[in-house]
Amino acid sequence: MEIFWFIIIAVVLAVFFILDGYDFGVGIIHLFWAKKEKDKEVIAKSAGLFWDSNEVWLVAAGGMLFMAFPTFYASVFSGFYLPLIIVLWLIIFRAIGLEFRSQFKHQMWKDMWDKSFGISSLLLALFFGIALGNIVRGVNLGGVQNNISTYEGHYFFLPLWNNRFSPLSEHPGVIDWFTIIIGLITVVVLAIHGANWIILKTTSSINKQLKKVVLKLNIMLLLLTIFSLGIWQIINPNSLNNFIDKPYLIIFPIIYFSALIGLFFIKKLKKDIQPFVLSTLLILGGITSSLASMFPVILPSTNTINESLTIYNTAATEYGLLVALNWGIVGFILLFVYMIIQKRLMGGKIDKMDYGH
């Protein structure tokens, strides 16, 4: 039952990163590559129409995590207190940027909210990546100092950074050079994803240029990925053991790398949806590979005194998980219906649509 819920939540989280990921990416592209007002307008709109229904996936993932793995939820949310609250603030800045930019037809007003949208999208992508980096690297569970736990074994508190920014020091902070690299990878992945979304959903004048941008970003991504894997081996020499023990898990990294390689051929792809499918697979592969490498651990301990958090020692009881599975199935069927309806009515290029304004 724990495994069921682990998979469900992983899927919901992956969908969140795929959906809200493209609108983070749109923000990054908007910040650096959109120059003409007409492009800015339509690019912002390609995120603005969808962000709130995308962000609902975060709320859903949060709620399910709370219900299924309450100990993990409590530990991680209080342990990463500051970065999480900062993420909340960025989410607010991004949303008001998107919603308010078109409210007044004044250039200064628009520029201000465009920057708010772009910069907070960039920082959010970075922070979500850093969060993933922290989960993979592990934390000092129990706040162990001199072999004595300061808190109960499943609690911890991380400062934003420590003096050396090193993942190898005894008490690493949230931001160190390993998590920064994972953060950068996330920024690049989401920028690629956002560019592909713009190509799919708009007829903006920079669509051709964006394909070149994707190519450049893809080279960066390949280098960063290889680099991060190397560092990961140094931090945690056992990080690939799961793939050796359970070889079928290797499908996830294969998805990631195939999508990465596929994106090098972006200029040859005829249909606008193909690049977007590839970057979707890229995100899916990246998240599932990270989780598969740790399974069943969901938060490694960096000390030897307190054991890592796993899906088994943080889960709710059997009965609760079972009832939730029942209503969860009903909920997902309903959701699927809504998505089909929405897709039928709001598919296609947004700047060619008649909304009846």
Partner 1 sequence: MEDMIFYDRLQFAFTITFHYIFPQLTMGLSLIIVYFKWKYLRKKVEKYNDAAKFFMKIFAINFTMGVVTGIPMEFQFGTNWAKFSELTGSIIGQTLAMEGMFSFFLESSFLALFIFGEKLMGQKLHFLTGFLVFLGSWASGWFILATNAWMQHPVGYEILENGKFVLNNFSALFSNPWLLPAFLHNQIAAVVTSSFVVASVGAFYILRNKNIEYGKLFLKTGVVLGLVSSVLLAFPTGDWNAKNVAKYQPASFAAMEGIFETEEAGSEIILIGQPNMVEKKIDNKIAVPNILSFLTYQKWDKQIPGMDQFKKEELPNNVPALYYSYHIMVGLGTIFIGIMSLAVFFLWKRKLYNIKPLLWAIMFLFPFPYIANITGWYTAELGRQPYLVYGLLKTSDGISPTVSSGNTLFTLLGFVGLYMLLGLLFLVLVGKTIHLGPKHQTY
Judged by the rule CB under 8 A, the positions of this chain that interact with partner 1 are 49-50, 52-53, 55-56, 58-60, 62-64, 66-68, 70-71, 73-79, 81-82, 84-85, 88-89, 91-92, 95-96, 99-100, 103, 143, 151-152, 155-157, 316-317, 319-320, 323-324, 327-328, 331-332, 334-335, 338-339, 341-342, 345-346, 354-357
Which CB sits closer to partner 1, 91 or 240?
A: 91
Which CB sits closer to partner 1, 91 or 235?
A: 91
Minimal distance, residue 165 CB to partner 1, in Å: 20
The rounded distance, in Å, linking the Cα atoms of 273 and 251 is 23
Minimal distance, residue 85 CB to partner 1, in Å: 5
Which CB sits closer to partner 1, 96 or 222?
A: 96
Minimal distance, residue 232 CB to partner 1, in Å: 27
- Residue 119's identity, in one-letter code, is I
Structure tokens at 221: 């991504």
Minimal distance, residue 68 CB to partner 1, in Å: 7
Which CB sits closer to partner 1, 75 or 218?
A: 75
Minimal distance, residue 89 CB to partner 1, in Å: 6
- Which 3 state secondary structure label does DSSP give 49? coil
Give yes or no for a contact between 144 and 185, defined as CB atoms under 8 angstroms apart: no
> Residue 297: phi, psi to the nearest 5?
-70, 140
Q: ω before 172 within 30° of 0 (cis)? A: no
> Residue 105: phi, psi to the nearest 5?
-90, 65
Which CB sits closer to partner 1, 98 or 249?
A: 98
Minimal distance, residue 221 CB to partner 1, in Å: 29
> Residue 299: phi, psi to the nearest 5?
-150, 105
Give yes or no for a contact between 152 and 306, defined as CB atoms under 8 angstroms apart: no
Which CB sits closer to partner 1, 231 or 316?
A: 316
Give yes or no for a contact between 142 and 152, defined as CB atoms under 8 angstroms apart: yes
The rounded distance, in Å, linking the Cα atoms of 354 and 357 is 8
